[in-house]
């Protein structure tokens, strides 16, 4: 009886072990394996301003860091433009200060003195005109004297009014429109100065991020237009793998799924994660597909390698395997 129980227990354990082994084998057989290629982004580096290339400080194959100076233009034209912009701004700021402070106190005092003098002349002219009116007779001489007194009075009055207007203008300062105009000109000069400084800074070409110089297009002495390609930089981050998956396997490759990336010559895989799945199918045979043809459609994947090294090169073939959850 004990032997039968022991045999039955052994049979159960054997069946369980066989089931576990079969499940592992079946799971391994169903594990998704994809082929892909390393995809590293490249940047065509260029100056934002044109000019004569003065220096190229790196060569093809050089490893560079973000912010490292790679090339320079002859900046003499930009320095001259900057000096001119600084001088123009200084002149306009002086004019602006004058406009806001108004006229000098000496000018206002002089206008006041002129007004007082014209007031005195007008007073005398008025007195003379009154006397001539009182002494006016019927003779020609009396009429002529009266006309002369009237003319002198009118002239003195006109000069007084002109002096009064001049004094009021100097006392009030410049018109608001004049002040607003000079303020606007100062802002414009400040913008031109900022533009000149930016153009001077743009004569220095720096690396936007870490990478490796792939191509050196131009040599010192070359004349180049703004935006002309000077160097090509291969970025070291991020490193992606471009792979394709069938429609029936999309459920296993959702964004965020952890995967392993293998390359020839290295047994240890790279940890990676699915970062992007194309929403559109590629290599579609025709617009209307049968059920069988729909299974032949593929979707592009972008797998982001977590800790790449220099051995992963542009276009290198690799194998992508799903990590077990």
Q: What is the mean pLDDT of each run of 10 residues along the chain (325 residues)?
A: 52 47 43 83 93 95 94 96 96 86 66 72 75 64 69 77 70 74 92 96 95 92 93 87 83 85 85 85 52 63 83 84 72
Is residue 88 a contact partner of residue 192, using CB atoms and an 8 Å limit?
yes
pLDDT of residue 148: 75
pLDDT of residue 202: 96
**Residue 238 preceded by cis peptide, ω within 30:** yes
pLDDT of residue 12: 44
pLDDT of residue 6: 56
Give, in order, the Cα–Cα distances in Å from 278 to each of 250, 273, 302. Answer: 10, 15, 8
Per 3-state DSSP, what percentage of the chain is helix, strand, and coil (rounded to 5)? Answer: 50, 25, 25
Query: Shortest CA distance to 229 belongs to which of 245, 259, 205?
Result: 205
DSSP code of residue 290: -
- CB hemisphere CA count around 268 (13 angstroms): 4
* Token pair recorded at residue 225: 């237009």
pTM over the 0.85 mark: no
């Amino acid at each position: 009886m004990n032997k039968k129980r022991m045999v039955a227990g052994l049979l159960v354990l054997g069946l369980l072990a066989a089931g576990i082994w079969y499940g592992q084998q079946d799971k391994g057989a169903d594990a998704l394996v994809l082929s892909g290629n390393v995809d590293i982004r490249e940047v065509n580096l260029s100056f934002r301003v044109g000019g004569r290339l003065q220096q190229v400080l790196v060569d093809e194959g050089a490893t560079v860091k973000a912010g490292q100076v790679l090339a320079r233009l002859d900046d003499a034209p930009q320095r001259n433009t900057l000096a001119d912009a600084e001088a123009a701004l200084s002149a306009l700021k002086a004019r602006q200060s004058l406009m806001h402070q108004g006229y000098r106190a000496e000018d206002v005092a002089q206008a006041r003195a002129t007004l007082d003098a014209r007031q005195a002349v007008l007073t005398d002219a008025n007195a003379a005109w009154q006397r001539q009116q009182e002494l006016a007779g019927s003779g020609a001489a009396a009429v002529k004297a009266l006309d002369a007194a009237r003319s002198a009075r009118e002239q003195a009055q006109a000069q007084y009014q002109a002096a009064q207007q001049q004094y009021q203008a100097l006392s009030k300062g410049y018109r608001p429109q004049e002040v607003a105009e000079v303020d606007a000109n100062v802002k414009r000069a400040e913008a031109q100065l900022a533009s000149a400084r930016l153009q001077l800074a743009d004569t220095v070409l720096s690396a936007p991020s870490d990478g490796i110089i792939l191509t050196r297009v131009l040599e010192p002495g070359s004349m180049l237009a703004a935006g002309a390609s000077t160097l090509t930089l291969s970025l070291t981050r991020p490193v992606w793998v471009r792979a394709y998956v069938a429609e029936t396997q999309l459920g296993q490759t959702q964004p965020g799924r952890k995967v392993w990336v293998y390359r020839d010559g290295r047994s240890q895989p790279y940890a990676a994660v699915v970062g992007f799945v194309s929403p559109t199918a590629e290599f579609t045979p025709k617009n209307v597909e049968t059920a069988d043809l729909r299974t032949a459609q593929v979707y592009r994947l972008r797998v982001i390698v977590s800790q790449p090294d220099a051995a992963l090169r542009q276009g290198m073939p690799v194998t992508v395997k799903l990590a077990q959850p």
